[in-house]
């Protein structure tokens, strides 16, 4: 009796099919997890900007607004945020009473593009894609 040890072609195909199904389920979940992490990093940065704005208000009696607001606050946008979001501070000029809105707009063509615009204002109101809350 001559007995061969090993796997048959059918067994190997079944294993490959099972691995393919696991990847098909796992990859979208992983991408969603990574997107949530990027969003959380951006939200943390926005909170840091808001804290700096409040400190600046105590010194200057107004918020830093406009295109140079981040520079005025002594902040630079981290690479892991700037790759996926564009951060702006509105309004373009000081307002009465003092107010600001920090906006994180997803960069078109990047993974976060479907995420929606994130906003945070001086009253602490947060929105994501036009919906209240983050």
Going from N- to C-terminal start, the domains of the chain cover 9-132
Whether residue 52 has pLDDT greater than 80: yes
For 68-119, the pLDDT digits (tens) are 999 999 999 999 999 999 999 999 888 888 999 999 999 999 889 888 999 9
Q: Which CATH class is domain 9-132?
A: alpha beta
Would the pTM count as exceeding 0.85?
Answer: no
How confident is the model at residue 114, as a pLDDT? 87
Which of 85, 91, 52, 55 minimizes the C-alpha distance to 71?
52
For 9-47, the pLDDT digits (tens) are 999 999 999 999 999 999 999 999 999 999 999 999 999
State the Cα–Cα distance between residues 52 and 45, nearest whole angstrom. 11
Cα torsion 22, 28, 33, 34 to 10°: value is 110
């Amino acid at each position: 009796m001559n007995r061969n040890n090993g796997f048959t072609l059918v067994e190997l195909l079944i294993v490959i099919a099972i691995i393919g199904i696991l990847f098909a389920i796992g990859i979208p979940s992983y991408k969603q997890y990574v997107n949530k992490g990027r969003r959380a990093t951006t939200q943390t940065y926005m909170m840091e900007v808001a804290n700096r704005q409040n400190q600046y208000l105590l010194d200057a009696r107004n918020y830093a607004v406009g295109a140079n607001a981040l520079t005025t606050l002594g902040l630079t946008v981290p690479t892991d945020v700037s790759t996926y979001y564009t951060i702006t501070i509105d309004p373009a000029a000081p307002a009465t009473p003092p107010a600001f809105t920090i906006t994180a707009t997803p960069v078109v063509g990047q993974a976060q593009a479907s995420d929606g615009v994130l906003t945070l204002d001086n009253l602490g109101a947060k929105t994501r894609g036009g919906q209240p809350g983050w």
